[in-house]
Amino acid sequence: MSTALGIDVGGSGIKGALVALSVGELAGDRARIRSPRPATPDAVATTIASVAAEVGWSGPRFGCALPAVVTGGVVQTAYHIDPSWIGLDAQAVVSAAVGTPVTILNDADAAGLAEMRFGAGRDESGLVLLLTFGTGIGSALFLDGVLLPNTEFGHLQVDGVDAESRAAARILKDENLTYPEWTDRVNRYLGVVEKVLWPDLIVVGGGISKAHAEFLHLLKARARIVPAALRNTAGIIVAALACQEAT
């Protein structure tokens, strides 16, 4: 079975694993190393190399999901990594650190592509919105299965501030919120999202999706809401698939 390496760079941790490409599943143990502080390009690239070594990967190419808008391999935003990434050719920097070519894509787009191919969005038509709740709020938007890349709906203004500053999953711990208190904020955010979009399906992903039984029933929207099927491995899976498709 053909395998490839997928790396998912998050605000709190950098994760990676070998992926069985034909079925979109992890083919070995997942490695995770805490994200460096500050998350400069050199520090992140070095950590990516360490994760690759930990899972026993040996080339020739790998994929990496980055928490940023990425166009042509160049980083355009840096909300959860160091601002020195902006304007940088991320593919060149990461490739130099690891010693092999890499394909870079936005982390929420990667998670969404995985869900549409193998998970909760499979065979879904219409407008599908994936929202990842973690350190921030990521988004991926699909129309009849086609990705509209680099959306940044986590930065919609809700009550005068970025939505993720009040409704990201990390806020649960940071402010010691209960699930009902947190989902009240998420519902306020979903109301704003649905004033801009009319999705047919909202897929809730990110690290918190593994606890969906605790809170999903509290979420309210016009659209149908379902939990991500691939939980927090989706970014890893499609990063690996992306590198295969680039070869």
* Total count of residues recorded for the chain: 247
- Ramachandran bin of 191, using left for φ above 0, alpha for ψ from -120 to 50, beta for the remaining angles: alpha
Q: What does the pLDDT read at residue 79?
A: 86
CA pair distance 53, 97, nearest whole angstrom:
12
Hey, what's the torsion of the CAs at 103, 168, 113, 213, to 10 degrees? Answer: 140
The architecture (CATH level 2) of 3-109+233-246 comes to 2-Layer Sandwich (3.30)
d(CA 6, CA 45): 14
Domain ranges within the chain, ordered by starting residue = 3-109+233-246, 123-228
pLDDT tens-digit profile, the chain (247 residues): 488 899 999 888 999 999 998 888 899 899 999 999 999 999 999 999 999 999 988 878 899 999 999 998 999 999 889 999 999 999 999 999 998 899 999 999 999 998 999 899 999 999 999 999 999 999 999 999 999 999 999 999 999 999 999 999 999 999 999 999 999 999 999 999 999 999 999 999 998 999 999 999 999 999 999 999 987 788 898 889 887 665 4
Q: Which amino acid is at 44?
A: V
* pLDDT score recorded for residue 230: 87
pLDDT confidence of residue 207: 85
- Whether the CB-CB separation of 34 and 46 falls below 8 Å is answered with no
Distance from C-alpha of 48 to C-alpha of 225, rounded to nearest angstrom: 33
Q: What is the helix, strand, coil percentage profile of the chain, to 5?
A: 40, 25, 35
Place of tokens 């160091």: 82
The alpha carbons of the chain give a radius of gyration, in whole angstroms, of: 17
3-109+233-246 and 123-228 share one CATH topology? yes
By DSSP bridging, strand 25-26 and strand 13-20 are antiparallel
- Give the pairing type, strands 127-133 and 201-205: parallel
Q: Name the fold adopted by 123-228.
A: Nucleotidyltransferase; domain 5 (3.30.420)
Residue 21, φ and ψ in degrees, nearest 5: -70, -30
